[in-house]
Structure 1
Amino acid sequence: MKTRTILFLAASTCLIQLFMNCSALNLSNGFTPLSSTDSAAIPTTEVSAEANAPTNNSYMVPRSYVIGLLTDIFTSSNYPVNTLTSTLRSFVLNKPGSFGGNCDLNSSETGNDCGGDISNSALAPLAAASTLRAVSISAACENILSDDNAVQAVLEKIPHGDTPTSASVGQLYSLFRRGWDPDPSYVQALMQMDQNVTQEGTSNLDRWRLQILMICEDPVWQSL
């Protein structure tokens, strides 16, 4: 019952205060990764906390950028995430229609890159924001962060204490949206969410997990 309360509180805070893409989050005692076939059932919204959130007419970074960035963020020799490559393949690489970036038929990675369909070689290099893309990103972030090592892999890349602070959350944001500082109201909303889940007895590791998940799911870092 305690975990269900935390889930409801986290989801309510995301939708009301953050206006971010918040999917069905479970914390440590019941974090269930999603499969590529489950992702269509995730409730999502594509409205971001930031004023310049992408619309369905906005072009987004291609899948090669998404894969490269998330690989960089979640890769660590000290905290290996064994499912990282397969997760990104399932939810990003094999969905060129949602993420753009035509495949290279002459590449040694043709089988994975084209998703088994040579027609993908004729796709446009960029794709617009879409619900399907948001669902896939949400599923990828949740699956990756179901591994505690993923949380630790991110934390070793920023200055941080035992619990999230405004400064450390700003550092997290900068890992995903490089060269940008978050709006203060964005960080404030994330910190309010952290305060709410802390009152429910959420562990420090899960507090960090939730912060990383919210930023990972935000479409703003993918916008051009």
Structure 2
Amino acid sequence: TAVARQQPFAMNFLEQILQMLANPLLVSVLFAIGAQAILIELSSPGGWVAGFIGVLALALGLYGAGQLPVNWLGLGLIVVAFALFAAEALATNHGALGVTGAVTLLAGLLVLFNSPGSPEFARISVPGAVGVSVITAAFFIFVAMKAMAAQKRQPRTGAEGLLGQTALVRKAFATTKEAGAYAGMVLVNGELWQARAEEPIAAGEKVAVTAVSGLLLTVKRQQG
């Protein structure tokens, strides 16, 4: 009987890339990068780079997961974890949801690839799963805290922004009361406003805005 000759065939570049994607740790990293990039895109709309990177990373991660024996319960836990991270970004008190998401993500990654009977090459190490979970949770908590800080620094506009502002009297509040108050004009934030006060106030004095009613301000003499 003739012995069959073995003819080796080298994989091309694309085949090597696709084979590399069938790595549980790389799949986990791609899922994490995809979720983080999409969060950046949603929090700062108008661009496309972060969204493109996020979709590409998730697509590559799903392809890699498709080449491995995965557990659907693990995939469900990962989805729940990312939902918790998204809720963390919208919450007013930060930390609890992020930690819960990290624990859920860790459990999901371990269940996803480490099912009974899975070959060794398809398993993810505990340190690898812990690293991906901690880094992902830290990123989401960091983004949430930055968003909260930016919201606190957001400049107030309209009537809310005028309350408590210091204004300069440009037209003295007359000695004759009109509708129970003295009428005058003040300059605040570079704009002239009609104003009313409970006492006469001379031009050039500083006053504080205490109320806003339409286009009419209520002011009082600033102490000190």
User: Which structure carries more strand by proportion?
Assistant: 2
The TM-score bracket by the shorter chain reads under 0.3
Bigger relative contact order, structure 1 or 2 (CA pairs below 8 A, ≥6 apart): 1
> How high is the TM-score relative to the length of structure 1?
0.26
Between Structure 1 and Structure 2, whose CA radius of gyration is higher? 2
